Amino acid sequence: MGQKWKNYMALAKARLALSVVFSACTAYYLGTESFNAYHFLLLGLGGFLVTASANTLNQVLEKDTDRKMKRTQDRPLPAGRMESWEAVLFAGIAAAVGLLALAFFNPMTAFLGSVSLVSYAFIYTPLKRISPVAVWVGAVPGALPMAIGWVAATGELGLAAFFLFSLQFLWQFPHFWAIAWVAYKDYAEGGFYLLPSSQKDGRTKETALQAAFYVLCLIAMSWAPVSLGISGYIAAGIMFFMGLFFLYFAIRLFKQTTAKAARQLMLASLVYQLVVFLALMIDKI
């Protein structure tokens, strides 16, 4: 039973799913006028299950390529610890329960959850083997949890929801490209070339420069929470200085073009996200 549970958690990519839940719950907290712990937990459950379903379907579709990469060879499907039908059944149940939980808030929340699930599993996943454009496509379901959390709290899909979506959308590019740089050889063995360079080996200054561009976009957005009435000047100032911190490591990658610099950029992206989210919540208006 213990191994079976571990297999399901591996299909769900539990740590990744929890990071998605963190994003959605952050946006929910920012949007709600009166905090409700029950609603907060229900959103977390729904977000986790929908993400688990998308991640499971991703692994069903990539079972054969996962066998070729050391990073993924021990996942339940390529390792033979679980059959595809069982994974699909788990994904279906998780999606149904998760979307039902999101529908409790309002129809738009459930709709956005459905868009996130379908676009990740059935558009981003097959596109990964075709073109680096997949990263831009995958950034949409990756950013939707922020909009989902806001809409769950407010029922409105307005400028504030778009800002939160954009914050997560832009953040993903330097974050994911840093990961793809570090794991380049493993990805290449699976037939994935996801770095945005004109060269097949995308570990170039061109990729680093594009990563820096998206960080600059994040810096330019630093004062938006104030104008949108989401958070105050303290949070905006922290966003600005954390953006400079993030940019330093993007420039470092541009100068060095090494796996070590890419790993440092990846870690910097995680620090940026955590500090900015906490600042927005603490300085909530």
Per-residue pLDDT of the chain (285 residues; tens, 9 = 90+): 678 899 999 999 999 999 999 999 999 999 998 889 999 999 999 999 999 999 999 999 989 888 888 888 889 999 889 999 999 999 999 999 999 999 999 999 999 999 999 999 999 999 988 888 889 999 999 999 999 999 999 999 999 999 999 999 999 999 999 999 999 888 887 777 788 876 778 899 999 999 999 999 999 999 999 999 999 999 999 999 999 999 999 999 999 999 999 999 999 999 999 999 999 999 986
Do 66 and 77 meet the contact criterion of CB atoms below 8 Å apart?
yes
What would the two tokens of residue 165 be?
A: 């979506």
**pTM score:** 0.93
Is it true that domain 1-157 has CATH number 1.10.357.140? yes
Per-position DSSP letters for 195-230, written without gaps between them: S--SSSS--SHHHHHHHHHHHHHHHHTTTHHHHTTS
Listed in sequence order, the residues at least 6 apart from 123 whose beta carbon sits closer than 8 Å to its beta carbon are: 137
DSSP collapsed to 3 states, 102-166: HHCCCHHHHHHHHHHHHHHHHHHHHHCCCCCHHHHHHHHHHHHHHHHHHHHHHCCCCHHHHHHHH
Radius of gyration of the chain (CA): 19
- Terminal-to-terminal C-alpha distance of the chain: 47
Instruction: Give the per-residue pLDDT at 79.
Output: 87
Q: Give me the sign of the Cα torsion angle 230, 118, 49, 22.
A: negative
Q: How far apart are the C-alpha atoms of 257 and 202, rounded to whole Å?
A: 10
CA angle 128, 133, 135 (to 5 degrees): 65
Q: How far apart are the C-alpha atoms of 12 and 7, rounded to whole Å?
A: 9
Q: How far apart are the C-alpha atoms of 2 and 94, rounded to whole Å?
A: 19
- Name the phi and psi angles at 159, rounded to 5: -65, -35
What would the two tokens of residue 37 be?
A: 């712990």
Instruction: Give the per-residue pLDDT at 169.
Output: 97
Instruction: Give the per-residue pLDDT at 198.
Output: 67
Burial zone of 145 (CB within 10 Å; 0-12 exposed, 13-18 middle, 19+ buried) = buried
What would the two tokens of residue 32 be?
A: 């709600």
CA angle 189, 191, 197 (to 5 degrees): 105
